[in-house]
Amino acid sequence: MTDMLTSPHSSTIAPERRIVTAIPGPKSEELHARRMHAVSAGVSAAFPIYIDHAHDAIVVDVDGNQFIDFTGGIGVTTVGHTNDALVDAVRDQVGKLTHSLFAVAGYEPYVRVCELLAQHTPGDHHKKSMLVNSGAEAVENAVKIARKYTGRTEVAVLHHGYHGRTNLTASMNYNMHPYGTGFGPLAGSVHHAPNSHPFHDGLSGAEAAKRTITHLEKRVGASQIACLVVEPIQGEGGFIIPADGYLNALADWCKENGIVYVSDEVQSGMVRSGAYFASEHFGIIPDLVTSAKGIGGGMPIAAVTGRAEIMDAVHPGGLGGTFGGNPVAAAGVVAVFEDVERRGLINEAKRIEATLMPLLKNLQAQHPVIADVRGKGAMIAIELIDPATGEPAADAVKAIQHYALHQGVLFLSAGTFGNVLRFLPSVVMSDELLTDAMGVLADALESL
């Protein structure tokens, strides 16, 4: 109780960056020593700081340093850290019903989340959902459902994709390291096909789709494939936006061949891209959609949503898990959906793009190391390439992250070659903070 009274309420944080100690500060250093003793070395850390509290777009570390957060917990806190509506809903729910296991005895928040997902995922056909705990679990379940529905075994994925850290999803990732190295045998029946990456391959959507489809038809056979799992905007791969018509051609091919088209929107979904789900930008209506990160606003929850006839192909008891769709996390999702509607947060994601894009294009004009600026909504990235050699400039990304950290800005890297700097701000980040942080980025680029 004393603690609650003396600790600062997160919503009173001044919306500004503020560095008051060396980075890392003494308390972070102390925590780090404890971590090194107690936490597995297999769990890495991008930054040497430890967070005490956070609100909207600002995180405060244990030493009182304030950072403008462009990581959003990797695209999770889209509606802002400690979003007021979310915190209220979670507080209410945790004292009402913390757990019952939906498969034992149900509760309303689970059902409400499934209704909201049906309403806001692309397409107006009859949709159903099932809830789990993590993005990887959602992808695993989408594959299970597609296999049961089609009676087929094979799974198709794209180069530069990322789908999680379980055995099956590690097999579906493009990068073997660090996700799969030494963990084999990984799952079989997973087939990797070339993607569309207009900045690098120069192919039109139709040309890239032909390359993908030919690969899968020759190497696997369309009649063997249960599902094609695609991120509409590849996240970890470096915010890759496919060429116009690419995804549409793949979706058409899936339809013609009885393949379930799964849109993995764990990162791109839930308002992040300036639409509820990024598939909308491309006019795609997926058979199944996976969502996680942003839907719970920080609560651990994930979902598979899709055509009722596909979702119902599974026998009772074939899907589930102890914590899936936990009432507290589900209440969080409901609060996030309501807050998005109440505060028009899709427009805020568009505002982020409108503010960031010109600032980044301006930096690109001054710094040839910025080879590409791309993204949608609050999902924007710059790709850094050494202008002298044409090689991916991962070291420049690291140097920028290091510089910005010491100035009170947290930037995240991405990309198969680690040479993409990605911006995943909360959509409630103000234009003032965006502009201030881009000033820090400009200084970081000067310092290279």
Ligand X SMILES: *Cc1c(COP(=O)(O)O)cnc(C)c1O
* List 68, 89, 116, 139, residue binding ligand X (CB under 6 A): 139
Q: Would you count residue 175 as binding ligand X (CB under 6 A)?
A: no
Q: Would you count residue 63 as binding ligand X (CB under 6 A)?
A: no
Q: Would you count residue 130 as binding ligand X (CB under 6 A)?
A: no
The site that binds ligand X (CB under 6 A) totals a number of residues, namely: 15
From 86-94, 162-170, 372-380, 388-396, span contacting ligand X (CB under 6 A): 162-170
* List 54, 136, 260, 371, residue binding ligand X (CB under 6 A): 136
In the complex, minimum distance from the CB of residue 135 to ligand X, in angstroms, rounded to a whole number: 2
Find out whether the peptide bond into 178 is cis, omega within 30 degrees of 0: yes
In the complex, minimum distance from the CB of residue 370 to ligand X, in angstroms, rounded to a whole number: 24
- Structure tokens of 219? 């190497």
In the complex, minimum distance from the CB of residue 290 to ligand X, in angstroms, rounded to a whole number: 7
* List 66, 77, 121, 134, residue binding ligand X (CB under 6 A): 134
Residue 73 or 408 having the CB closest to ligand X: 73
Residue 134 or 196 having the CB closest to ligand X: 134
Q: Would you count residue 147 as binding ligand X (CB under 6 A)?
A: no
In the complex, minimum distance from the CB of residue 236 to ligand X, in angstroms, rounded to a whole number: 6
* List 80, 164, 274, 298, residue binding ligand X (CB under 6 A): 164
Q: Would you count residue 235 as binding ligand X (CB under 6 A)?
A: yes
* Binding-residue pattern over the window 355 to 384 for ligand X, x denoting contact by CB under 6 A: ------------------------------
Q: Which residues contact 416 (CB under 8 A, 6 or more apart)?
A: 160, 174, 175, 237, 238
Number of residue whose CB is nearest ligand X: 135
* List 53, 81, 127, 163, residue binding ligand X (CB under 6 A): 163
* Binding-residue pattern over the window 255 to 294 for ligand X, x denoting contact by CB under 6 A: ---------x-xx------------------------xx-
In the complex, minimum distance from the CB of residue 303 to ligand X, in angstroms, rounded to a whole number: 11
Residue 164 or 242 having the CB closest to ligand X: 164
Interatomic CA distance for residues 242 and 374, integer angstroms: 11
The contact set with ligand X (CB under 6 A) reads 134-136, 139, 162-164, 231, 235-236, 264, 266-267, 292-293
